[in-house]
Chains A and B, each alone.
Chain A
Amino acid sequence: MVGGFSILLWIGAILCWIAYGIQYSNDKSSSLDSVYLGSVLALVVVLTGIFAYYQEAKSTNIMASFHQMIPQQALVIRDSEKKTVPADQLVVGDIVEIKGGDRIPADIRLLSAQGCKVDNSSLTGESEPQPRSCEFTHDNPLETKNISFFSTTCLEGTATGVVISTGDRTVIGQIASLASGVENSKTPIGLEIEHFVHIVAGVAVSIGVLFFVIAVSMKYRVLDSIVFLIGIIVANVPEGLLATVTVALSLTAKRMAKKNCLVKGLEAVETLGSTSIICSDKTGTLTQNRMTVAHLWFDNQVFVADTSEDHSNQVFDQSSATWASLSKIITLCNRAEFRPGQEGVPVMKKAVVGDASETALLKFSEVILGNVMEIRKRNRKVAEIPFNSTNKFQLSIHETDDPSDKRFLVVMKGAPERVLEKCSTIMVSGQEQPLDRSTAQTFHTAYMELGGLGERVLGFCHLYLPADEFPATYSFDVDAMNFPTSSFCFVGLLSMIDPPRSTVPDAVTKCRSAGIKIIMVTGDHPITAKAIAKSVGIISANSETVEDVAKRLNVAVEQVDKRDAKAAVVTGMELKDMSPAQLDELLANHSEIVFARTSPQQKLIIVEGCQRQDAIVAVTGDGVNDSPALKKADIGIAMGITGSDAAKSAADMVLLDDNFASIVTGVEEGRLIFDNLKKTIAYTLTKNIAELCPFLIYIIAGLPLPIGTITILFIDLGTDIIPSIALAYEKAERDIMNRKPRHKKKDRLVNKPLAVYSYLHIGLMQALGAFVVYFTVYAQQGFRPSALLNLRVEWEKGYVNDLEDSYGQEWTSYQRKYLEWTGYTAFFVGIMVQQIADLIIRKTRRNSIFQQGLFRNKVIWVGIASQVIIALILSCGLGSIVALNFTMLRPQYWFVAVPHAVLIWVYDEVRKLAIRLYPGSWWDKNMYY
């Protein structure tokens, strides 16, 4: 309610009251008109303020639901007793116990752990469960195995630990305070609107002051000059515009919410459109955040598995006998099980008890083979050795499902090299062959290849125990290992990865063509990160990193010219040693960048680096570790499903479906609304000249006032509101996703061509058209234009009741006043009719209206209808209310301005045609806004 236009309107209101004060001190019976006007102006400011507040509040309300946190409990040993206390009552030194499924209540150092695994993804972005033990393994607290962090989850096992920090001093707490320390900068559209307000306010104030001085030096009374000043201010300030912009933005916000982009602040709607760099987190945003079988290797061949969200399309060759064996091992050597009671749920969505890899294998086999549990039942398990980190393999012994085959089947899976050690043969096309050096070599090549893709590789082998040595009654003892654990037959390899979402590569391509640079920033390993980056197209197929170039040319990394490499993979450790200048150079010289193993602070540094390049930076993320960067970014985008509360509250936008592709929709909507706001503003600014000229002519040529201040308000806040909102529904002119993002400092919302064209071309034409209507009304009533010149003084004298017109007729003061109001109405109708033409021409900035389609945007026609209806109501219905200064108008006056409206349309079509015909010409540069 303060700042910008509001200040101008407040000044106008106060000037009104001052003017009344002066009038009142001179003449006690002076009319209250200026008091009303002042109050109306104040009311306008207050109402638009309330409106904007209401709109903002509505969109923030949606977010309120995200802030609900469930109070957390912790099991603590105090006074030799186990007690449950709220997590916020923990103190340093408390001993807490944790079991699978718990959230860690504070940062703790582990004293003992049994098979404990934690999910640190909210903190580091790594989706794999991290084993925890009480051994100190690394200097970095984030890397060492004996520390668990507040707000992460314990997935399985149990542990006891001592609390080492609580609350804000925990690692998460520090990140949170880092996020709250980052200041929110102004949104790009906010800056643009500010810039626009500056222009309009500059024009208003300088014209106002200039004409105040002119009026005073023309010996007008100061009081009159003040009234002129008020008129000029009111004419220049687009009162309805800020409300219109708010509505347009919230319409887009609604449209985006339908497409799963929930926008928290209205202005953020446009920010996405001007985004030039997206810093995307990997896990959960680009990837599906679950391990999935990606490749298989058997029969000396690599097969590709379908990693899409539903696994529906497994096309690899399943006819080989080797696959039959492999699939049996996959099915049997697996402890993961589906939770009961999920019959109707698709396989990929079923909940599973078990770790990520086993889950992946279970789902993989379930999809291909069908009922896995049934297969397991038929091959009864007689013994098993679960996976542990020393063995690095898992083994189980089963009866076979063939009743005639009494042999036991031993199946094993584990780290490929450990599995291979235990094998003496390898299966090729269902036949066991001795494992010689050359087959071992092919195995290694395949292993390295899959490993190089950033995938986790598992080896599988089996052994049929001879029935004579191990009869059906044989009792296996897993501790004594009374069965062979070597001379297995190697069957194949399987590799798993957290695969990219299927929609991401397409979205990345679209961002590319829209000129948006995508940088991957992840806490994950560089190899995995690079592999995912390649598979989604963040690093395109034919570009190389410095390391790749070095490898290809067979030279040392240092000798490679960095500019030869388009892509770069930078780890957190390398980033730590970089100066800001080096980072700038890196960001400027490489178009495809992946940052791996980064800490939250480094994400912040990367975002700042991008912003130094004058880029508008979007950051996507879901973890707590992302929240400082989300806040620092021009637009932070959090994931709605997997995102942590901290990320959601730091972000400006939430992707409800966690789908990176939704960002593309957002970019498109953002760009469209920027274009459409340009049109709205151009539309609104145009009539300012038509509203301003009457005052200037009134002062200089002394015509009876052509349009009143109240009437101007009825245009700005009445007839023009719905049409300018209607422009927000306009479709894009060209493919907006094929052009570069706008430059923050060069492509302004309101640029010079826009202002000049609106003010000096269309605005002036409109003013002239409206004046023709005005002169027509006066001339037909008896005052020909020549008689009007310098008539103002006599005209406004209340005591002159026999003023002669061009025909010798004599007019009383009130009759003149009434004619003046008729003039206001005529001028108003003149502007209104030409604003219809203005509305139609503003549908496009470059294309012909006929290319765009005159009837495609129905809302425009609603707008035009509203203009006409409001004008009719004002003129006919409310014409009897004296204070509004509207009168009935003869029907023919409604059509006087129509030729001018047509002229405006034709002129603009010519302008657009010249722009299309001569791109890059002087005309294009100066007339394309």
Chain B
Amino acid sequence: MVVPDLEEEEEEEEEEKEEEEKEEEESQAQETGSAWWRKWQIVNEYLWDPEKRMSLARTGQSWSLILVIYFFFYASLAAVVTLCMYTLFLTISPYMPTFTERVKPPGVMIRPFAHSLNFNFNVSEPDTWQHYVISLNGFLQGYNDSLQEEMNVDCPPGQYFIQDGDEDEDKKACQFKRSFLKNCSGLEDPTFGYSTGQPCILLKMNRIVGFRPEPGDPVKVSCKVQRGDENDIRSINYYPESASFDLRYYPYYGKLTHVNYTSPLVAMHFTDVVKNQAVPVQCQLKGKGIINDVINDRFVGRVIFTLNIET
């Protein structure tokens, strides 16, 4: 990118020189051609001078020398960088990230999610909520009971599912069945409650390799109205009923070895939320090692969304 610009600059200098040299000729040339035409000719000659067989004031030989030198120079630079990157890859493990301080404490995300955290829909108009249902159905495909039973193991609840062994060994994953979500599983009510104005919202904690909640004290979810009347929500049903992420889903061993790992979920069933008004809801994680009040990051340990259900 830089070379042509520099040469433009050189070009100008060249022009100046030429102009000086050809001062006498110029006075004659003024009658025949305009200044622009002459300039163009000079530039043209600079780009390709047929007499001296030079382009951009260099001969072909000179150009090839430059190209060869730069080729070798850049090739060796590339080699150096490749070496650096190779050393880098030698020092970092493909299974476990070297540091996790930037991704901790865990963030929280909800499903269904379509670019916005405002759930606006009209119960009587399926078009307004159909996409939530599709989104949830799609998301829960990986949690189908048959699939979970086939791929994953049923491990004992209430304790870490620790798998010793080498880093590069494949790890087993614990089952999280869709049916755990009961009314929000979409199995009984395929509209996840949206058709009745009782929407289900799934909450998912961001995966972090090696993250372990405090033993015996699983991370809990609790939702309340963020601003306004506490009673706008009235009642929420959590599935699983404990409203917590069971310890058996931790730790996470990374996507290379922990292939079939499925994030545990907590479903919130807003069964009796106030209709026809926006209700801001904040769902927070609670537990030791969880931070949910970072000012700058509104998705660490908490998530805020609004429900605006019209009837």
Partner of B204, one of A772, A802, A819: A802
Instruction: Contact check, A812 vs B297: say whether CB atoms are below 8 A apart.
Output: yes
Interface check A605, CB cutoff 8 A: no
Known A775-B85, A807-B97, A882-B296; contact A764-B77, beta-carbon cutoff 8 A: yes
| Chain B residues within an 8 Å CB radius of A775 | 85, 88
Of the residues B65, B107, B294, contact of A810 by C-beta under 8 Å: B107
A810 and B207 contact, CB distance less than 8 A: yes
Select the residue from B6, B70, B208, B294 with max chain A CB neighbours within 10 A: B6
User: Does B36 count as interface, using CB distance less than 8 angstroms?
Assistant: no
**A862 interface residue per 8 A CB criterion:** no
* The one of A199, A696, A811 that contacts B107, using a Cβ cutoff of 8 Å: A811
The answer for the CA separation of A899 and B80 in the assembled complex, in Å, is 10
Q: Is A602 an interface residue (CB 8 A)?
A: no
Within 8 A of A (CB), among B35-84: 65, 70, 73-74, 77, 80-81, 84
Q: Which residues of B contact A198 (CB under 8 A)?
A: 9
Number of interface residues of B (CB under 8 A): 54
Nearest residue in B to A816 (C-beta to C-beta)?
B102
Among A634-655, those with CB < 8 Å from B are none
Chain B CB within 8 A of A799 CB: yes
Are A807 and B84 closer than 8 Å at their CB atoms? no
Min CB–CB distance A4 → chain B (angstroms):
15
B115 in complex: contacting residue of A759, A799, A900, CB < 8 Å: A799
A768 to B73, CA, bound (A): 13
User: Is there contact, CB below 8 Å, between B297 and A807?
Assistant: no
- Interface pair A808/B258, CB less than 8 Å apart: yes
B223 contacts the other chain (CB 8 A): no
Say whether A808 contacts B261, CB under 8 Å.
Answer: yes
Pair B107/A801 contact, Cβ less than 8 Å? yes
Indicate if the CB atoms of A812 and B300 lie closer than 8 Å. Answer: yes
Contact between chains at B9 and A807 (CB < 8 Å)? no
The docked-state distance in angstroms from the alpha carbon of A807 to that of B116 is 26
Q: Which of B10, B103, B117 has the most CB of A within 10 A?
A: B103
**Are A755's CB and B6's CB within 8 A?**
yes
Contacts of B65 in A (CB 8 A): 922
**What separation, in Å, do the CA atoms of A804 and B206 have in the docked complex?**
9
- Chain A contacts with B in 773-803, Cβ cutoff 8 A: 775-776, 779-782, 784-785, 799, 801-802
- Whether A768 pairs with B107 at a CB distance below 8 angstroms is no
Inter-subunit contact B99/A761 (CB<8 Å): no
Residue B25 at the A interface, CB < 8 A? no
Assess whether A815 is in contact with B103, with CB atoms less than 8 Å apart: yes
Q: Which residue of B lies closest to A780 (CB)?
A: B98
How far does the Cβ of B290 sit from chain A's closest Cβ, in whole Å? 14
Check A304 for interface membership: any CB of B closer than 8 A. no
Q: Which residues of B contact A170 (CB under 8 A)?
A: none
Q: Which of A745-774 contact B (CB under 8 A)?
A: 745, 752, 755-756, 759-761, 764-765, 768, 771-772
A819 to B100, CA, bound (A): 11
With most chain A CB atoms within 10 A of its CB, the pick from B9, B98, B300 is: B9
User: Which B residues are in CB contact (< 8 Å) with A199?
Assistant: 5-6, 9
| B88 and A776 within 8 A (CB) | yes
Within 8 Å by CB of A809, from B73, B81, B85, B206, lies B206
The answer, among B85, B209, B252, B258, for a CB contact under 8 Å with A785, is B85
A802 contacts B2, C-beta separation under 8 Å: no
Q: List A contacts of B95 (CB < 8 A).
A: 807
Most B C-beta atoms less than 10 A away, residue of A764, A780, A890: A780
Contacts of B22 in A (CB 8 A): none
Chain B residues within 8 Å of A781, by CB: 97-100, 102-103
Q: Does B234 contact A (CB under 8 A)?
A: no
B254: which A residues are within 8 A, CB to CB? 807-809
Query: A808 touching B107 by the CB < 8 A rule?
Result: no
Q: What is the bound-complex CA distance between A760 and B5, given in angstroms?
A: 13
- Encode B184-221 as 1/0 by CB contact (under 8 A) with A: 00000000000000000000101111000000000000
Contact B88 A801 (CB under 8 A): no
Asked if B293 CB lies within 8 Å of chain A CBs, one says: no
Q: Which residues of A contact B98 (CB under 8 A)?
A: 779-781
Q: Are B2 and A203 in contact (CB under 8 A)?
A: yes
Question: What string of 1s and 0s marks CB contacts (under 8 Å) between B267-290 and chain A?
Answer: 000000000000000000000000
Query: Once bound together, how far apart are the Cα atoms of A772 and B89, in whole Å?
Result: 12
Give every chain B residue within 8 A of A46 (Cβ-Cβ).
Answer: none
For B88, list chain A residues within 8 Å (CB).
Answer: 772, 775-776, 779
The answer on a CB contact under 8 Å between A760 and B77 is no
Extra 7 A-B pairs, beta carbons < 8 Å, given A815-B107, A899-B84: A781-B97, A805-B103, A807-B97, A808-B209, A809-B206, A814-B298, A822-B102
Pairs across A and B, CB under 8 Å, 7 listed:
A760-B2, A760-B70, A779-B98, A808-B252, A810-B103, A814-B297, A882-B296
- Chain A positions within 8 Å of B, measured between CB atoms, are 198-199, 202-203, 206-207, 210, 689, 696, 745, 752, 755-756, 759-761, 764-765, 768, 771-772, 775-776, 779-782, 784-785, 799, 801-802, 804-815, 818-819, 822, 882, 890, 899-900, 903, 922
Please provide the 10 A-B residue pairs with the shortest distance between their CB atoms, ordered closest to farther.
A808-B255, A812-B107, A814-B297, A810-B206, A780-B98, A812-B299, A801-B299, A802-B109, A782-B97, A807-B254
